[in-house]
Structure 1
Amino acid sequence: MDLHSGSPYWAIKNSLYQGAHPLQENISTDVTIIGTGITGALVAHELCEAGITCTMVDKRAIAGGSTVASTAQLQYEIDVSLYKLSNEIGNKNATVAYRASLKSINDLEALFNKAQIDAEFVRVPTLLLASNRAGLRKLKDEYQIRKESKLPVDFLESIDLQNKYQIDRLGALWNDTSAQIDCYKAAVGLIQHHQKKHDLKVYPYTEIIGYKRERSQFVLQTLKGQTITCKYVIIAAGFEAGRFLPKKIMDLLSTYALVSEPMRPEQLWPERCLIWETRHPYFYMRTTADNRIMMGGEDIPYKNAKLRDAKLLQKTKALERKFHKLFKHIPMITDFSWCGTFSSTHDGLPYIGEYKDKKNMFFALGYGGNGITFSMIAAQIICNKIKGKKDPRESVFSFDR
């Protein structure tokens, strides 16, 4: 399946990494990671740092799937509000999920700093806008439960939004804990780092079409006939992980994004914060290192790639209208636009860990709008599991939650 089409910004901004080649022979390794996007790269990082030998494979180019189409915003907020999630899974588990997301942003920053990887990690605040009066009521409920859970949050009145941001909305939640990155640069940087430091083996254009168990090992079969023998398999292939699962666990959505022409820094909104809203599907935006505006939304149920792609122009125009309605004074002009397919779950949480009887096959499925922060959590939980270490977050993100 084509995961995206159009002109994803990261693919245009960055050079395609050519430092690896398809698998040409049968090999053995401790761990095989299927997927070389940001999720697989973070998993590889945790394993390599723990001294565990691993190999990465991908049927596409390195980080050539959903990673290159991501808008790469890092927020502790989950697609499902804390208020709603608490009603679904209990306040204790919901708070664990939110706190885990908050911690993952700090962990990502520390990781990039320690490995000296330029992922264009930048700390920015988040502004969650009330889309209407119903949204304002939701925000007030959300503000209260976040305060009770001791999560970072402030409430901004309409007058505050107007005075500081020139935004005409009824209210908003604000926090200063968020960040943004170039996720393609991050993924490739991590892979290059561990190729040099830990002799990480990486094989793009190597599709796994099947597997069998032989005693305590997996034997993976590639499309071109090679085999990979390993003790553990980690599926970090997004919704394409479905071929390894016996039933559907996620919904597919088509999403749309664009990036503007470069602008003067003074034309951008104060703090260059991440902005999103209470309405679903929500509209969201950020800025880039070269002073562009990146935005996305207009999600619709996925039916097929042809229909998704046919709506690109229409959805681009819709995103432009939403932006100009919010910021009438900012002369934003679209430079590139693209569309992609992603997955979501009913509770907005990822699926991390083993699936029932699939012992030693781990899934790192960071579905929803928090894919990168969820990927950091997944990398840590799975690494701890392989090392035989209990992780208190495990049950909240498990398949049997």
Structure 2
Amino acid sequence: MMKLHTGSLYWESTFTKEGFVKVNRQDVYDVAIVGGGMSGALTSYVLANEGYSIALIEQEEVGGGSTSANTGLLQFSNDIMLHELMEQIGEEKAVEFYRSCKIAMENLKDVAEHAPFDVQFHTRESLYYASTEEDVARLRKEFEALRKYGFPVEFWEREDIEAHFPFSQPAAIVTAGDAEVNPLRLCMGAIHYAYEKGMDIFEHTEVLGIRDTEERVLIKTTNGDFQAKSVVVTTGYEPTLDTKIPQKDLKVTYAIATQPIDDLSFWHERMMIWETKRPYLYMRLTDENRIVAGGLDQDMDTLPSSQEEIDKKFAQLKQELQVLFPNQKLDFEYEWTALFGESTDELPVIGRHPVEPNIYYLIGLGGNGTVYSMLGAYLLRDELAGKSNPNEPIVEIER
């Protein structure tokens, strides 16, 4: 098993997992979902509402992979700007994809409202600032593209930023309709919702192989064999079975969480904050009034082995945060390092296996993985029902 994170994970302190009742497996499920992280959780939520019989198969414990290392910023804007995506895949497709991410934000709110416990979901605005003067023109071009197609966006000049925050940056765009969430509680909330609707959960069950036949799919595991009419593979950054997913090298990212802060008057309307440079710094607040911040991504396919190197990155991250908020005494309590992946075109990989028609993939690659996973869950719902979806050609495996 691939090691996905190390360090002290803040979200694990906010939720106590409970075991699921063991069940006798059905002879044949409508859908087997392989992977109990965020993608598997959101898929189970959507498909449970469609009345499918579902088996959720997880090699460790559900919610135990990359989910706890997620920083929980949810945005319709992506790592690749709308105007740049237009140049890459065409204007119509790019706008469709961005609109689908906006709808996914609304769908995530629906998941939060239907979860059997509070997942700490709060609608927020995002401040996306230009890291340098050279980035202002690019940011203004993005503002014009978003505004042209009706996305909720404002352009802030330097004086606007200075009027609302204790730092100064050349310019920024502010988007509305984004959100913050406790990712572990969201993941577990979606799984518990589907579980209460009858989904069977099989933890500590490693999938050894998946074979599609004309009538059903056979899933060989360390816990015996399963049969399903369809299989959805949602294994995140773990190596995927039976197909090659177009993906860049994995990256390592670093994240920190402060101790609770008594006075947050310096933080305008609890906005989420990120920037144009790459790798970028990003940050948000939690229900406990902690700052969660991350960034300093590196191209690495395994977690760093040198604690000295890790400590240097954490020190740099803390310093960058302190520069933005120079008058605040920030005490840090949690530090963690995690792996994540990106596809070659910075879009997720979702859809039917190119050769085996009963096997589907939902791999929410990139910095916006939770939103991609929500978008993908509804896309797969449509594919399973034989309906067309406009995002199919944009995110399909062989594109």
Say whether the 8 Å CA contact 2:249–2:301 is kept in structure 1. Answer: no
Say whether the 8 Å CA contact 1:27–1:227 is kept in structure 2. Answer: no
Matched, 1:86 2:96: no
What SS is found at the alignment partner of 1:344?
A: coil
Say whether the 8 Å CA contact 1:127–1:174 is kept in structure 2. Answer: yes
1:355 Cα deviation after fit: 2.8
Aligned-partner Cα distance in 1 for 2:162–2:18: 44
Say whether the 8 Å CA contact 1:287–1:294 is kept in structure 2. Answer: yes
Amino acid at match of 1:218: V
1:251 Cα deviation after fit: 2.7
Q: Structure 2: where are the runs of 5+ without partners?
A: none
Distance 1:309 1:28, change over 3 A: farther
Say whether the 8 Å CA contact 1:117–1:186 is kept in structure 2. Answer: no
The equivalent residue for 1:242 is 240
Say whether the 8 Å CA contact 1:85–1:347 is kept in structure 2. Answer: no
The equivalent residue for 1:162 is 162
Aligned-partner Cα distance in 1 for 2:292–2:333: 10
Amino acid at match of 1:19: F
Alpha-carbon displacement from aligned partner over 1:341-398 (angstroms, at most 9, x marks no partner): 0111232211110131121111111111111111111110101111122222222221
Alpha-carbon displacement from aligned partner over 1:148-194 (angstroms, at most 9, x marks no partner): 22222111000111111122110100022110111111111222222
Aligned-partner Cα distance in 2 for 1:235–1:308: 33
Say whether the 8 Å CA contact 2:165–2:266 is kept in structure 1. Answer: no
Point out the structure with the larger helix share: 1
Aligned-partner Cα distance in 2 for 1:16–1:61: 9
Aligned-partner Cα distance in 1 for 2:398–2:360: 14
The equivalent residue for 2:142 is 142
Aligned-partner Cα distance in 2 for 1:338–1:232: 36
**Which residues of 2 match residues 2-401 of structure 1 at below 5 A?**
2-20=3-21, 27-115=27-115, 117-196=117-196, 198-224=197-223, 226-246=224-244, 248-307=246-305, 311-401=309-399
Say whether the 8 Å CA contact 1:96–1:396 is kept in structure 2. Answer: no
Amino acid at match of 2:12: A
What SS is found at the alignment partner of 2:204?
A: coil
Say whether the 8 Å CA contact 1:242–1:248 is kept in structure 2. Answer: no
1:308 Cα deviation after fit: 7.3
Aligned-partner Cα distance in 2 for 1:265–1:127: 20
Amino acid at match of 2:15: N
Aligned-partner Cα distance in 2 for 1:305–1:266: 34
Aligned-partner Cα distance in 1 for 2:86–2:182: 32
Aligned-partner Cα distance in 2 for 1:313–1:27: 51
The more displaced of 261-270 and 344-353 is 261-270
The more displaced of 239-248 and 184-193 is 239-248
The more displaced of 133-142 and 10-19 is 10-19
**Please, what is the CA RMSD of the aligned residues?**
1.8
Aligned-partner Cα distance in 2 for 1:103–1:230: 30
Share of identical aligned residues, percent?
27
Aligned-partner Cα distance in 2 for 1:183–1:336: 16
Amino acid at match of 2:356: K
1:42 Cα deviation after fit: 0.9
What SS is found at the alignment partner of 2:145?
A: helix
Distance 1:268 1:261, change over 3 A: farther
Say whether the 8 Å CA contact 1:5–1:309 is kept in structure 2. Answer: no
Say whether the 8 Å CA contact 2:304–2:310 is kept in structure 1. Answer: no
Say whether the 8 Å CA contact 1:35–1:58 is kept in structure 2. Answer: yes
Say whether the 8 Å CA contact 1:20–1:204 is kept in structure 2. Answer: no
Aligned-partner Cα distance in 2 for 1:317–1:335: 13
Aligned-partner Cα distance in 1 for 2:361–2:338: 22
The more displaced of 183-192 and 45-54 is 183-192
Say whether the 8 Å CA contact 2:86–2:92 is kept in structure 1. Answer: yes
Alpha-carbon displacement from aligned partner over 1:261-315 (angstroms, at most 9, x marks no partner): 0111435501111100000011000000000000000100113234376632111
Alpha-carbon displacement from aligned partner over 1:5-44 (angstroms, at most 9, x marks no partner): 10111112211332256x8878531111011112111101
